[in-house]
Structure 1
């Protein structure tokens, strides 16, 4: 699967941050930010309509703690050419209304995800969660198994919900202090490089900084509490559906050893993507497009076989 053409400014090692931002914003214009009212709240998202197949499964993409819907633009361009692809801004990100709880649980975000999918008439989907998005995806799948045809977790964050209260508080408070000290722009400057491998180009590094600099502090703070409260392994153990777990070989944030434990909880082998870091889908889009696309096609094939053999989708 080929990637869409990218501006020379985007790939040049000499590209300035302004040139990268301009190129990214031009590409994002093809998938303008949308907003849907869900009861008393709003959820922001981006969408690629893909081929018009009303019976086809949508692909739903959930971003991590330092990112947003815009980070998936390469997947909207490529995977969205053949199917409906939806990427949300999590509660408290972009134009999405924060959740009500000051120290939320994964179920609070999963409830918003369910309401958003209802508003978009998505009855069943293939769900992809990256990092913190994997926590939300896992909680949603555990509570709404019939709506998840397949669950793909990329560099999943496991959460600290099973840790001691002291460890949970320490992890939470350190991240909150960093946010208070640096702010979004400072976080982007100081922390974005950790998201990528040594093989990432300048454009990918600028892209990750661009996304991280646009976080909303209150939403990021709530997501920090979510990370401290969550226990993804427990949700994965409760979900009896098709799951895949993948991680970049050089991911230093959710390293392969940590992801292996989550893959074990999901009863699936861990897939390792060579020469990729935590935000692998940004720095190595072809590899991650192939990973997501192959998983999606496997789920669709399983669904077609179920219809052929049983008369109903699995």
Structure 2
């Protein structure tokens, strides 16, 4: 198991931050591996491209791995809308993929990144994604059934940000993202990623979480797989089961982890992604 200092060193050496731009927009991202197929990794609301470090290094033996910083995260240009929908992020993602010349990729969305990924697949049915993998997908609170929860969630997140700042919010919230058995270095890496957020980008992402609904983009016009941490209390298995059902696929539980599976079980997650891609390999040729 890597220490926090070892992860920081590996991040700079093997998964460094780079940037690309097009039409006045800029994206920062990280890349690893030289494989023929490309995995495009979309992080969640409390994270960044760096959270995929160990997944990328493990999967990079077989794939080219590209992990973006969503609009408003890292050095990526924020979206124009104060309350963006997933389609706004999908449009930015299309620009990002076009700028990098990526075609036929496997799109992997973790947490809120899954909402962005499903919106992309719906908006660009003949686009650059050939397969969709959802990891602990966050459905969002945009549906009517969540009317009672929506404002509570928005207020809770934005008030915590205002009262505690990014670093204080990370210290308070990061522990919920891992299982009880997670080690200290794993907890520290999750906290460090959250503490690196841009406040304005987090506010926009909170509006996405509260204003849109992943089920709106189901079913998908391409193959889908859905995974969830067995100990996830943020997007628990029951909630992920409903997402999987909306896409007509079984939910696969990942043992030994909570919500932050890319950090907590990166090698198992990379192997699970590899197996899923191999099973549906004909879609990605």
Q: TM-score, normalised by structure 1?
A: 0.87
Correspondence for 1:185 among 162, 167, 172? 167
Partner of 1:230 in structure 2? 212
Partner of 2:113 in structure 1? 133
CA offsets 1:281-308 (integer angstroms, 9 cap, x no match): 211122211111111222324445xxxx
Correspondence for 2:265 among 269, 281, 284? 284
Equivalenced residues, count: 282
Instruction: For 1:161 and 1:221, locate their aligned partners in 2 and report how far apart those are by CA, in whole Å.
Output: 16
Partner of 1:68 in structure 2? 48
Q: Which secondary structure does the structure 1 equivalent of 2:30 belong to? A: strand
**Which is worse superposed, 258-267 or 275-284?**
275-284
Partner of 1:171 in structure 2? 153
- Greater CA radius of gyration, 1 or 2? 1
Question: Is 2:185 aligned against 1:203?
Answer: yes
Unmatched runs of 5 consecutive residues or more in structure 2: none
Partner of 1:161 in structure 2? 142
Partner of 2:29 in structure 1? 45
**Which is worse superposed, 289-298 or 69-78?**
289-298
Partner of 1:307 in structure 2? none
Contact 2:33–2:59 (CA<8 Å) still a contact in 1?
A: no
**Which is worse superposed, 171-180 or 255-264?**
171-180
Partner of 1:13 in structure 2? none
What is the root-mean-square deviation of aligned Cα atoms in Å? 1.4
Partner of 1:15 in structure 2? none
Question: Is 2:18 aligned against 1:34?
Answer: yes
CA offsets 1:24-47 (integer angstroms, 9 cap, x no match): 221012121011112111111000
Unmatched runs of 5 consecutive residues or more in structure 1: 1-5, 11-19, 305-314
Contact 2:121–2:221 (CA<8 Å) still a contact in 1?
A: no
Contact 1:31–1:47 (CA<8 Å) still a contact in 2?
A: yes
Instruction: For 2:34 and 2:92, locate their aligned partners in 1 and report how far apart those are by CA, in whole Å.
Output: 24
Offset, 1:268 = 0.3
CA offsets 1:165-185 (integer angstroms, 9 cap, x no match): 553222212211111111111
Instruction: For 2:284 and 2:272, locate their aligned partners in 1 and report how far apart those are by CA, in whole Å.
Output: 18
Q: Which secondary structure does the structure 1 equivalent of 2:63 belong to? A: coil
Instruction: For 2:198 and 2:59, locate their aligned partners in 1 and report how far apart those are by CA, in whole Å.
Output: 28
Instruction: For 1:138 and 1:255, locate their aligned partners in 2 and report how far apart those are by CA, in whole Å.
Output: 19
Q: Which secondary structure does the structure 1 equivalent of 2:280 belong to? A: helix
Instruction: For 2:284 and 2:152, locate their aligned partners in 1 and report how far apart those are by CA, in whole Å.
Output: 44
Offset, 1:162 = 0.5
**Which is worse superposed, 245-254 or 73-82?**
73-82
Partner of 1:297 in structure 2? 278
Partner of 2:223 in structure 1? 242
Q: TM-score, normalised by structure 2?
A: 0.95
Runs of 4+ in 1 over 6 A off after TM superposition: none
Contact 1:234–1:265 (CA<8 Å) still a contact in 2?
A: no
Correspondence for 2:73 among 54, 77, 93? 93
